[in-house]
Structure 1
């Protein structure tokens, strides 16, 4: 068999988490095929054309997310213009699964991978080696030759204008069911990524114990994938604990490793996972025995009270539990987190009792409904808009209480006393934690105050405040930051809401309201950059940036193990955050960026990923992290060409080259 050479092209974007997708594809390429070799090239560091001349690959493959796809398409164009049909170009990743029509629009693409390609990729390589004609018959692999029969044009109305445009869907008969036997997968090819890059010296290694997420958070595409895969396999798949830990033990043996991060969307703590987690808690300490970090959900921790003790027994040092918003209305009705304050507080409290360090994620810049002023001439229309917002998403697990009946009882009791009525409603909401139907409550209140428009509007304003709504966007963002701080989290990150494709928050909330125009090409590759939404003023966007940086920095105090520091830090944060975040100077933001990186490094080392770095290692890591953070927050455009090769050498796993 003649050698088949595959070149994986990767961006050197400063991501300090290994590209597990590329490592898996490389391993799949070489399994039971010693005649195949895999190679890598870094867009911003390597001279791609010189690498092409040296390696002489038969296939050039890339994996793209929305935001990075432009650079990969440009690289593919340059390669094709130089080498023509002597090289097969393939693009995969979430971008192609969101926009399979890219194969019909980009003349330099030969094929794309759609959805999961664990079985499709090796089959595609075998078909290519057998003469090439069969590559057009491989499910999940859409080519220039087969896309006419595989893609189905779908007329989709623009949510903003109502005018139709063409998108493409894939014939369900042309993609395979989900892979359910993860144990059948080869070990990730870490050598491809670690050798001669900064990843080789990283002491924190990443893997995933399973795949899939059943939740319907509107800022994520997972539930859309679940719909596409409906009837094609179960949502959650797992490695067996022994198989998973054996691979981690191999990593520990072959590469310097002090800490493990399990990067599953949700680590196996679902109620049916108890047996899996019990076995993991026995196997992991014996085979791996390193402290680790994982991601879980507050509601699952509450539903599965055995989960945290088992994780503790296994050796967990820290875990992430995302909050996403400190405002209950936004959590329930905008981003569909379906998680009560009580569940969040209980979960963090239980973790702290067990001595497990906590890391929270929160999203700022989620547009919340604004309470109108009593004198607003469009008062009723704005209130109707808020009622409609409350219907976008509703908690699936928690029962709604019909507040209309409660208000009727209150009206009879407090007839003629609107102040007492408003006080009753506020206390009722506070005592019951009611999730109310706004339309019922407001209709009842309107009847109560009929004939007195001013009293009616004052009641509505008070009522909307009682259910957690605010007059301004920054009040929502302040609430979210202070909520995380109030939980006593040991570390926290505050990202910005970005409108990604295949997400309900983009397609059903942001675009229909005219807050995003649907142009994904202009998005920054990092969701920690300045908000791209048009509903915020530039001052609000600056305040959000500052808040995100300062929120993390202040957790250095509020999440401290020292009681006095915590006692001082929390009131200081409540006082200082609203004032400092409103400073509009870019120099101030740059200083906050430095403060954010410095405090983050300290907290990572002490509270999240303790790897016992030397003073020199800490300083080096600080510089690398600072460069990455600056790129995430401040770099707007790529002023240098992607294929420049001006800084040869592999820096993958270090500061960004973009």
Structure 2
């Protein structure tokens, strides 16, 4: 063990041995050292990928843990005391630069072997693997790849051919191909949320998030899924869903072990399979029987489905509207969703007495100020209870990014940093007419929909220069609507918000 308390990084072409010895059976009874990975992330948000990776690592006989930067007073010393063989960093676009800065500091002070994964690492692996803090990059879904890597390390085997992994090796980069998708999600162990719920801030949240489905059959131009599908090149089934029993087991495990008052189902395809949904609502009512909120795609909604959701305890449904202008929604964003489908779906939701949320965006390529106004007006027409609106963040490499560059609205060498690092109060590098007014409108959007009588005044206010008062109005409206439509509570809301904000400043 080094003077820093960490195991020194071994050359990637050589076997890695755990300092101090002490072997125990590995997966399938094969002897080997139990390796340890510690994940590092900035903000106090539970990431579905990490809880699945941790579960698989532990099932294979290795060890996994997590440190959240915003929750640790002395991150480096805490990490040293854990003596990991591998330090993992989930990379989310928009927060990747702050994460890389933390990784660089950890690297310089501990000489740890590092691995990077997550959406940003998957889509921009060349950028990450060339960073001085990076030793390994994991692309795509990493459960099988990470276990294989740790098994090889523990047995002293060469692991440079591990699929889904890129390695630095002697000044060269080894780029391995992706393995096919894992089509049997039921075969994965139940998520390991213990690494997150050791933090009281997360454990005490009365409402907890769940994601079931992987992949998406739709090809929205602003979404990463179309690019993700292309990366795999048809290797395995892209859209996958676990069985109803497995999903209910996940929820029950969280309820019984950590407490749960309401469930947030963050899954766009939740109602896509009517037969699966029918089984789910029956089992949910029988085994869980707690209030829940969910997300839906409007053209999948029927009155019967909404009735089933209501009967099972659904209190709120979120619908992706994106733009109130059908042409922009379908021709630019490729949502393939007409106005009448959205109107019909929202009518069924509100008729059932379920709270209606909508997701919207402004600063879309080709959008005018009049178009943005129509998005507000469309939400008013829908009788939206909570209209969320964000400034569109365009990710390099997506179809929408290529189109924006072609239209001359974005520089070819643009980067995510041009949008700022706030998901609530973003800017945009798009060369839009009336950009100032459009960005100001985003700050007032939920207020304008909730109180339509204020909309004429808001149209005048947005002509003023951007200012802190507008930001405060947005934050206050966001806080009020979030607290009033969820069980998060005032204290938890502001604590999570403050810690996330501070993490972005890291």
Q: Taking structure 1 as the reference length, what is the TM-score of the superposition?
A: 0.67
State whether residues 89 and 108 of structure 1, in contact with CA within 8 Å, keep that contact through their aligned partners in structure 2.
yes
CA distance in 2, matches of 1:36, 1:527: 33
State whether residues 484 and 492 of structure 1, in contact with CA within 8 Å, keep that contact through their aligned partners in structure 2.
yes
Partner SS state of residue 501, structure 1: coil
State whether residues 91 and 111 of structure 1, in contact with CA within 8 Å, keep that contact through their aligned partners in structure 2.
yes
Residue from 317, 320, 323 that aligns with 2:321? 323
Name 2:336's counterpart in structure 1.
Answer: 338
Where relative contact order (Cα < 8 A, 6+ residues apart) is larger, the structure is: 1
The question of 1:61 aligning with 2:59 is answered no
Higher Rg: 1
Name 1:285's counterpart in structure 2.
Answer: 285
Name 1:442's counterpart in structure 2.
Answer: none
Residue from 51, 68, 79 that aligns with 1:23? 51
Name 1:192's counterpart in structure 2.
Answer: 195
**Post-superposition shift, 1:175?**
1.1
Name 2:76's counterpart in structure 1.
Answer: 49
Residue from 55, 71, 80 that aligns with 2:107? 80
**Post-superposition shift, 1:521?**
4.1
State whether residues 27 and 189 of structure 1, in contact with CA within 8 Å, keep that contact through their aligned partners in structure 2.
yes
The question of 1:310 aligning with 2:337 is answered no
Name 1:519's counterpart in structure 2.
Answer: 415
**Post-superposition shift, 1:514?**
4.2
State whether residues 325 and 375 of structure 2, in contact with CA within 8 Å, keep that contact through their aligned partners in structure 1.
yes
Partner SS state of residue 217, structure 1: coil
Deviation per residue, 1:80-103 (Å, 9 max, x gap): 22333xx32000011111112135
Name 2:152's counterpart in structure 1.
Answer: 127
Name 1:7's counterpart in structure 2.
Answer: 38
**Post-superposition shift, 1:501?**
2.4
Partner SS state of residue 210, structure 1: coil
Residue from 381, 391, 406 that aligns with 1:486? 381
State whether residues 362 and 442 of structure 2, in contact with CA within 8 Å, keep that contact through their aligned partners in structure 1.
yes
State whether residues 360 and 491 of structure 1, in contact with CA within 8 Å, keep that contact through their aligned partners in structure 2.
yes
Q: 1:322 to 1:147 in 2, by over 3 A?
A: farther
Name 1:499's counterpart in structure 2.
Answer: 394
Residue from 137, 151, 155 that aligns with 1:112? 137
Q: 1:200 to 1:228 in 2, by over 3 A?
A: same
**Post-superposition shift, 1:520?**
2.9
The question of 1:211 aligning with 2:242 is answered no
CA distance in 2, matches of 1:327, 1:588: 29
CA distance in 2, matches of 1:352, 1:122: 46
Partner SS state of residue 361, structure 1: strand
The question of 1:97 aligning with 2:122 is answered yes
Paired residues, what number? Answer: 474
**Post-superposition shift, 1:63?**
0.6
CA distance in 1, matches of 2:75, 2:245: 40
CA distance in 1, matches of 2:492, 2:436: 27
Q: Which runs of 5+ in 1 are unaligned?
A: 152-170, 370-472, 557-568, 632-637, 643-655
**Post-superposition shift, 1:525?**
3.4
Deviation per residue, 1:441-492 (Å, 9 max, x gap): xxxxxxxxxxxxxxxxxxxxxxxxxxxxxxxx21111111221122101111
Partner SS state of residue 192, structure 1: helix
Name 1:372's counterpart in structure 2.
Answer: none
Q: 1:335 to 1:534 in 2, by over 3 A?
A: closer
The question of 1:300 aligning with 2:303 is answered no
**Post-superposition shift, 1:532?**
2.1
The 5 A counterparts of 1:215-234 are 215-234=218-237
Name 2:432's counterpart in structure 1.
Answer: 536
CA distance in 1, matches of 2:461, 2:381: 19
CA distance in 2, matches of 1:626, 1:190: 21
The 5 A counterparts of 1:601-612 are 601-604=482-485, 609=486, 611=487
Name 1:548's counterpart in structure 2.
Answer: 442
Q: 1:193 to 1:237 in 2, by over 3 A?
A: same
CA distance in 2, matches of 1:62, 1:526: 20
Q: 1:55 to 1:626 in 2, by over 3 A?
A: closer
**Post-superposition shift, 1:148?**
5.9
CA distance in 1, matches of 2:348, 2:140: 37
Deviation per residue, 1:278-320 (Å, 9 max, x gap): 1111111111111111111111215xx5432222232211111
Partner SS state of residue 358, structure 1: strand
State whether residues 553 and 595 of structure 1, in contact with CA within 8 Å, keep that contact through their aligned partners in structure 2.
no
Q: Taking structure 2 as the reference length, what is the TM-score of the superposition?
A: 0.87
